[in-house]
Amino acid sequence: GEGMNKYIITGVQGSGKGTVARRLVQDFDLVHISVGDIFRWHIQHHTKMGARVKRIVASGHLVPDATVEEVVRERLGIHDWNYGFLLDGFPRNPEQALFYLENYDCDAVIQLDISDEDVMARITNRRLCSKCRLDYNLINHRPKVPDQCDVCGAPLIARPDDKPDAIRNRLADYHEQTVPTLELFSKKGLIVRVDATQSPDLVYEDLCAKLGLKIPAATKGV
């Protein structure tokens, strides 16, 4: 209907996807549907599905398509959005994309473009305070004293999943699975690409312009 926007957002970890998603959700009243968050909810609440997913993930496997599709079908069946939704962490492969396209419509698939080198640089420069959990980035948010939190003085650490090998695995997985998935959407003319190496504000302005969305005056540059 009028003013209803259904988007899928894709981008590797480190592309700034979380920031873009937060702003879109806030500015355009979209419902953020993160498949990863739904799985985490099930695990935390000890549901049957949570137990199933936990077992699969613990054994180092990806959650099977049937389970992912079940979660998406159930979540989209709630229809709790008035202005649309932003689907995140799905579809992960061509099978899931076909399932989506056969069952639901989509206005655009947002693709945040960033090279593997840029992702590596961004992520390996992230630090976290070991005590108060404040985030640092050695590129543009350096601590005043090296390796020490400005707020509480505790040592800064790298996140465990920010080790270069873990990042390389995630990137390989992304290229192997997500890139062929995007080709399916590309054939339908649904992909909207944005250069994710720009500043967060420019990425967002660029994206909204390409989607034909007018950013509310009050939130510009916030």
Pairing label, strands 126-129, 156-157: antiparallel
Using DSSP, state whether 205 is helix, strand or coil. Answer: helix
pLDDT digits (tens, 9 = 90+) for 4-21: 899 999 988 788 898 999
Give the Cα separation of 90 and 100 in Å (integer): 9
pTM score of the predicted model: 0.81
pLDDT digits (tens, 9 = 90+) for 66-125: 999 999 999 999 989 999 999 998 998 999 999 999 999 999 999 999 998 888 888 888
CB-count burial class (<10 Å; 0-12, 13-18, 19+) for 52 = middle
